[in-house]
Amino acid sequence: MSSLDSIPNELLERVFLPLNKATLLALCTTNHPIGAVATRLLYQKVTLSDAEQAAAFVNAVKPRPDLQAFVQELEMGEMGDLSPWMVQQLTAAVWTLVRLQVLEPRSCRFWVEPGDRLSGATFPSLRKLSCVETAGTSTRVAPFLERHPGITHLSVFAYDAGPTGVRAIRLPRLREYTGTSSFLLRCDRAALGSVESLEVRSDDGADLAEALGRLGRLRALRRLTFEQSSSDLVRALEQVAEHVPWVRELSLSVRVVARDAPSPPPAAGAWRSQIAATLCRLPCLRLLAFDGHTYGGAHDRDNVAGWLGACSGLEEIWLGTSVRGPTHDPALTSPG
């Protein structure tokens, strides 16, 4: 018996955990105790990037219920080279992953291809889902979400609102959401009361102000990140102050489009004052990250001074790559 055979499995897992996939694969061929631990770690988190990896995964887990039980996290890339047959085989294999906790299918094909679609699967332990929605998938993704009320982290990279009149999606345990504001408009407002973090992308026709106005007061929300056109920024911030005045971290990415190009620096004072007037309604705010619609030099120094004065609890302001706050040097260079 080698000295490694006497080491408890829990300790072996801690030793093997930082190892890369190639090293774990080599350890799988060693004696039974070490190989068993390495195999469990190898299949615990699986990332599939191309057709060859997908085929190898299907061939490995399909006849092995023990391997199926090891998989807790599965990321499936776009894999445009997958044949329809392999999409079906891979989806069927995913159905067998009874202990899956994290599922990230990056292609809508897994929802719409004929055969064993993901939309019909159930994973009792699922806590995190990242998905892509395009035309025709919303009617399949929504029922999937309804069957998984334990989801706490959700990412929706694109969203097709689908037919009108569809019932609201309920996610009672959701804590973090990243994705489009259109999807938020489909969520049951009462079921989002536990959300602590929202990262909203407004590239789909809807905007943050509309979403917050529909959802009402999200009392658990502490971190909010959103993208907004500069012409609608003040309106969006007013909605933030009205519906989530207790937010602690606020990150803004400002899109400047041709119709609302930045005002010349002499007009920046009015815009600065409008932002400050809204920030004074956020007494819990500690961090403000602001990317876009900045001018550099004295104008940014004036922005920082005005916003810090408006929000007494504010500790840090980020302008691009620059960080300023009450404890920092007041000299501010142009944002990176």
Q: What are the tens digits of pLDDT across the range 224-270?
A: 998 877 667 788 888 899 888 999 999 988 765 444 444 444 446 77
**H/E run at residue 4:** none
Q: Report CA torsion sign: 204, 208, 214, 218.
A: positive
Query: How many folded domains does the chain comprise?
Result: 2
Together in a domain, 37 and 55: no
Query: Which residues lie below 8 Å from residue 230, measured CB to CB, with a gap of 6+?
Result: 254, 255, 256, 257, 260, 262, 292, 293
Domain membership flag for residue 202: no
Domain membership flag for residue 137: yes
Residue 306 has pLDDT above 60, yes or no: yes
| For range 140-152, the mean pLDDT | 87
Q: Where are the beta strands (DSSP E) in the chain?
A: 45-48, 73-76, 102-105, 128-131, 153-156, 176-180, 197-201, 223-229, 249-255, 287-291, 316-319, 322-324
Using CA atoms of 33, 36, 41, 45 in order, give the dihedral in degrees to the nearest 10: -170
Together in a domain, 18 and 65: no
Position with higher pLDDT, 229 vs 336: 229
AA identity, residue 207: D
Q: DSSP string covering 54-103, please?
A: HHHHHHHHTT-HHHHHH--EEEE---TT--HHHHHHHHHHHHT-TT--EE
Residue 134 has what pLDDT? 60
pLDDT digits (tens, 9 = 90+) for 175-187: 999 988 878 878 8
Position with higher pLDDT, 247 vs 319: 247
Full domain range(s) for residue 53:
49-161
Domain membership flag for residue 226: no
Position with higher pLDDT, 327 vs 223: 223
Residue 333 has pLDDT above 60, yes or no: no
Structure-block tokens of residue 262: 């930045």
Residue 216 has what pLDDT? 76
Average pLDDT over the chain, rounded to an integer:
79
Residue 332 has pLDDT above 90, yes or no: no
Together in a domain, 107 and 19: no
Q: For the stretch 72-95, what's the b/e string if a residue is b when 16 or more beta carbons lie within 10 angstroms of its beta carbon?
A: bbbebbebeebeeebbbbbbebbb
Domain membership flag for residue 67: yes
Together in a domain, 32 and 131: no
Together in a domain, 75 and 134: yes
**3-state percent helix, strand, coil for the chain, nearest multiple of 5:** 40, 15, 40
Percent of the chain with pLDDT over 90: 26
Residues making up the chain, counted from first to last: 336
Domain membership flag for residue 253: no
Domain membership flag for residue 131: yes
Domain membership flag for residue 79: yes
CA nearest neighbour of 94 among 125, 66, 128, 57? 57
| For range 138-157, the mean pLDDT | 85
Domain membership flag for residue 183: no
